[in-house]
Structure 1
Amino acid sequence: MLRRQIRERKEYLYRKAQEEKQRATEVRKQKVRSALETNAPLPTDLKKDALSIQKLLDTDTPGIDPLETHEDDEYRWAGVEDPNVYITTGHDASSKLKEFAKELRLVFPNSQRVNRGKTGVKELANICRANNVTDLVIIHEHRGIPNAMEICHMPYGPTAFFSLSNVVMRHDIPDVGPMSEVFPHLVFHNFSSKLGNRVKSILKYLFPVPKEESQRVVTFFNDDDFISFRQHTWSKGENKADDPVLTEIGPRFEMQIYKIVLGTIEHENIADVEWRLHNFVRTANKRKLLTNPEDEDQNDKQT
């Protein structure tokens, strides 16, 4: 089993290494295509390879993007099979963190809460692979207050790191409704940049596809790169003309993404860092990375 995992990991890394070559080829093809369409002279650096690039253009299928990325390989079964999520905590978890883990188990359908004990990260990842787990969620705390969440997609990654704040448990929410365990509809707001769509995919594929008649809604609302999590159920009014009535069922918290690693949780220190948040720059408080692509590009230059 270990040899199989090593081979699959090497194949995945090889496919990922080919992306830059494919991306460079696509850029050159696009330059030749635009020159042919506008009847403009070819760029100097492409004149030698223009004929071979034009042959590649003839083989392209219209309307299909020939560039495949590692993201296509990561979530190739999304929507086909329901996710299987494991939720656990750091070592020596407090009673409040364990309670928060129990509530997260109700948030994510088809999830299980696992007692961490003294199990190491590497052993935990192997347990997930052996049980066909699609995602591993690890929550951490500071002095009994949940303050961080790690979402690791199995078996290759990515692993997303979030900070948590303003965590409110279900029993602390006034007039909280009864918990529903049906598959929820998802609402994402203000995730328009490339990074925003990446974070949206990581969160979206934790949930299975809901039925149309489902009356449970999970909302991820982005405001200045802080993602507010809310969960409601809705019911119809007495009259058909009445608006639906929303009832919050909790919990509620805020999330902020600060790192994405191209690998699983046990390879955090050796895997490539896809994206990292840089707060200590002059314009950090003005940027909106999940919404504005230009701000995202400026952050990438700091990496």
Structure 2
Amino acid sequence: MGEEEERDPQRLKRIAAAAYDYDNDPRWAEYWSNVVIPPHMAARSDVVDHFKRKFYQRFIIFCWFSVALVNTMKIYVFSAVHAKLKREKKIEKRKQAKAREAAIKRALDLGEEAKKKVPRTIENTREVDETVCRPDDEELFAGNDADEFSQVLKQQVTPKILITTNRFNSTRGPAFIQELLSVIPNAHYHKRGTYELKKIVEYAKNKDFTSVVVVHSNRREPDALLIINLPDGPTAHFKLSKLVLRKDIKNHGNPTDHKPELVLNNFTTRLGHRVGRYIFETKEKKDDSKDKAAKSKNVPQEKMIVRLQECGPRFTLKLRNLQHGTFDSKGGEYEWVHKPEMDTSRRRFFL
């Protein structure tokens, strides 16, 4: 019974009406002056409370209901206008699609090449950069044979990666490192412990490692990668974001023992060319086109259906700085450093 009384709407209205500040509401004074009752009844508190409740119901609750009704009508009108504009936009889009199809059909009937609309993407709308590499830049490509990555890219040295962490590891750090070990060939994990990074670099040099990868964590989450090329650098610091582990990827695949193929697109600037060579490992390709042609004469053609599955981990890297030599936080010289004032547009790329 007690709970039902507390939830009684009439009782709640009476309580709200009794708690209302009538003295500071000028409408109450005007309303009470227009009430015609005998003087002896006007002095009774129950009569005054009765008229206060009537005033509260008429001027307070009704006004609140009117405002709520107006707001509801505004929302309804806005929704109707929005739906109408959406329908008109959809109809216009269909008309444009039909016009394009008709233009393509006319061009094919006339034997002309149909002009297809190129969709706008971030890549083809990027701002013009004066450091973009040109195919005829002989100076740039001649330096590839003498840079720090030429021995690995020519397969004169077998890549060997040492992966470690900062001193304070995160919750998802071990799982992330485990997945890196499964997709990067010839990668080895070494616990950081209390060793300084410079000592780890010296240890990696003595053990013939070609790179050191440091997974940095902040607030129990991996947030950066430090990649040190050995023996003489350079050192790249990447911001890591949007990390999705393999278990969180829907319908994920599992890595195999095959060497992964790394695809780099739109690394077109001089900095991008250098960073691309920094993280790219390739295999020497033999010219076996004649053998394949000879074999294909005796092998019937078959259709192959290839389905790709994402193995993970999935993450985004953004270059923060590129440093000469191995890691040196105090006296190191930097080739390139990202600064906040450089982010003037989303269509500006540095790689």
Q: Distance in 1 between matches of 2:140 and 2:272?
A: 23
User: What is the aligned partner in structure 2 of residue 263 from structure 1?
Assistant: 325
Going from structure 1 to structure 2, the CA distance change for 1:105 and 1:211 (only over 3 Å counts) comes to: farther
Name the aligned partner's letter for residue 81 of structure 1.
Answer: V
Q: How many residues align?
A: 199
Going from structure 1 to structure 2, the CA distance change for 1:150 and 1:71 (only over 3 Å counts) comes to: farther
Q: Distance in 2 between matches of 1:87 and 1:179?
A: 18
Name the aligned partner's letter for residue 151 of structure 1.
Answer: I
Q: Distance in 2 between matches of 1:64 and 1:75?
A: 18
Say if 2:164 and 2:214, in contact at 8 Å, map to a contact too: yes
Deviation at 1:109, TM superposition (A): 0.3
Deviation at 1:286, TM superposition (A): 4.0
Say if 1:185 and 1:210, in contact at 8 Å, map to a contact too: no
User: What is the aligned partner in structure 1 of residue 334 from structure 2?
Assistant: 273
Name the aligned partner's letter for residue 214 of structure 2.
Answer: I
Q: Distance in 2 between matches of 1:130 and 1:256?
A: 30
User: What is the aligned partner in structure 2 of residue 253 from structure 1?
Assistant: 315
Give the secondary-structure state (helix, strand or coil) at the position aligned to 1:241. Answer: coil
1:209 paired to 2:271: no
Q: Which structure 2 residues correspond to residues 202-241 of structure 1 after superposition, within 5 A?
A: 202-205=278-281, 209=283, 240-241=302-303
Q: Distance in 1 between matches of 2:343 and 2:164?
A: 37
1:152 paired to 2:228: yes
TM-score w.r.t. length of structure 2 = 0.52
Name the aligned partner's letter for residue 148 of structure 2.
Answer: E
Aligned-residue identity in percent: 30
Name the aligned partner's letter for residue 278 of structure 1.
Answer: K
Deviation at 1:268, TM superposition (A): 3.4
1:142 paired to 2:203: no
User: What is the aligned partner in structure 1 of residue 273 from structure 2?
Assistant: 197
Q: Distance in 2 between matches of 1:159 and 1:282?
A: 22
User: What is the aligned partner in structure 1 of residue 253 from structure 2?
Assistant: 177
Deviation at 1:113, TM superposition (A): 0.8
Name the aligned partner's letter for residue 171 of structure 1.
Answer: K
Query: Which structure has the highest strand share of the two?
Result: 1
Query: Which structure has the highest helix share of the two?
Result: 2
Q: Distance in 2 between matches of 1:169 and 1:211?
A: 33
Going from structure 1 to structure 2, the CA distance change for 1:282 and 1:197 (only over 3 Å counts) comes to: closer
Q: Distance in 2 between matches of 1:122 and 1:64?
A: 37
Unaligned runs of 5+ in 2: 1-136, 287-300
User: What is the aligned partner in structure 2 of residue 129 from structure 1?
Assistant: 205
1:89 paired to 2:150: no
TM-score w.r.t. length of structure 1 = 0.60
Deviating above 3 A after TM superposition, structure 1's stretches of 4 or more consecutive aligned residues are: 63-71, 239-243
Deviation at 1:283, TM superposition (A): 2.2
Q: Distance in 1 between matches of 2:173 and 2:253?
A: 22
Deviation at 1:198, TM superposition (A): 1.1
Unaligned runs of 5+ in 1: 1-62, 213-238, 291-303
Q: Distance in 2 between matches of 1:200 and 1:284?
A: 23
Q: Distance in 1 between matches of 2:141 and 2:304?
A: 48
Going from structure 1 to structure 2, the CA distance change for 1:210 and 1:164 (only over 3 Å counts) comes to: farther
Give the secondary-structure state (helix, strand or coil) at the position aligned to 1:124. Answer: helix
Going from structure 1 to structure 2, the CA distance change for 1:111 and 1:211 (only over 3 Å counts) comes to: farther
Deviation at 1:282, TM superposition (A): 6.9
Pick the structure with greater CA Rg.
2
Say if 2:144 and 2:150, in contact at 8 Å, map to a contact too: no
Say if 2:161 and 2:187, in contact at 8 Å, map to a contact too: yes
Q: Distance in 2 between matches of 1:254 and 1:264?
A: 23
Give the secondary-structure state (helix, strand or coil) at the position aligned to 1:189. Answer: coil
Going from structure 1 to structure 2, the CA distance change for 1:179 and 1:66 (only over 3 Å counts) comes to: closer
Q: Distance in 2 between matches of 1:162 and 1:242?
A: 39
Give the secondary-structure state (helix, strand or coil) at the position aligned to 2:263. Answer: strand
Name the aligned partner's letter for residue 181 of structure 2.
Answer: R
Give the secondary-structure state (helix, strand or coil) at the position aligned to 1:248. Answer: coil
